[in-house]
Chains A and B, each alone.
Chain A
Amino acid sequence: KAGVTQTPRYLIKTRGQQVTLSCSPISGHRSVSWYQQTPGQGLQFLFEYFSETQRNKGNFPGRFSGRQFSNSRSEMNVSTLELGDSALYLCASSLSQGPNEKLFFGSGTQLSVL
């Protein structure tokens, strides 16, 4: 069974640009969540989607958005990139959205903003 797939693995962008990251969950998983990982702030929750609906959102500006498609694949978009957006963006999937659900993570997309 294939794991969580995130593309691309690496991205280099410049300030002011926008970027779209993609996440394909494990087959059969309907919940997808996104986390930002930086050396200073650690792992921070961005948002969670279940059945194409955003169920929860972290404390990030509106420049960060996401969506989920009917096949459970998810994308997140960051507009007007800032230097501080440089981070590893991790996607995780789970069967459902319960609090006891194990999350299965992808290897992440390393975003560098110059």
Chain B
Amino acid sequence: AQKVTQAQTEISVVEKEDVTLDCVYETRDTTYYLFWYKQPPSGELVFLIRRNSFDEQNEISGRYSWNFQKSTSSFNFTITASQVVDSAVYFCALRRTQGGSEKLVFGKGTKLTVNP
């Protein structure tokens, strides 16, 4: 079975601090996709990044960076110099590549509050 664990339920930081959101996943598959989504107060989930299990390169996009470590089954997300607009719930998700159409399995999410 697929499972995604986000151990941090809520995190509160002060603006300009760096913050890392943890994501640990479980799967028996050798190939899969990992995702991060952001859910602002308006409700819609916004896609942030997709990572193929074969690609362990870390990625940086502006203030966002992702650290994928297959050996520890982790896909952590770091926000550098956080801003108030980063306040949202962040979800890590896993999707199989085998068996045809497969659902996206989400973690429970981490609520990030960035205070001015």
Residues of A within 8 A of B (CB): 3-4, 33, 35, 42-43, 45, 48, 50, 55-56, 58, 88, 90, 92, 97, 99-100, 102-108, 110
Contact = CB atoms under 8 A, between A and B. Distances in A.
Contacts of B45: 90, 92, 103, 105
Per DSSP, are chain A's interface residues mostly helix, strand or loop, or mixed? strand
B90 interface: no
6 contacts: A42-B106, A48-B103, A56-B101, A90-B45, A104-B47, A108-B43
A38 B103 CA distance: 18
A90 B42 CA distance: 12
Contacts of B103: 33, 45, 48, 56, 58
A43 B106 contact: yes
A106 to B, nearest CB: 6
A106 B45 CA distance: 7
A43 to B, nearest CB: 4
Interface in B26-74: 32-33, 35, 37, 42-47, 50, 52
A49 to B, nearest CB: 10
Given A42-B109, A43-B91, A107 B101 contact: no
Contacts of B50: 100, 102
A90 B100 CA distance: 22
Nearest to A96: B101
A107 B43 contact: yes
Contact of A88 (B37, B43, B100): B43
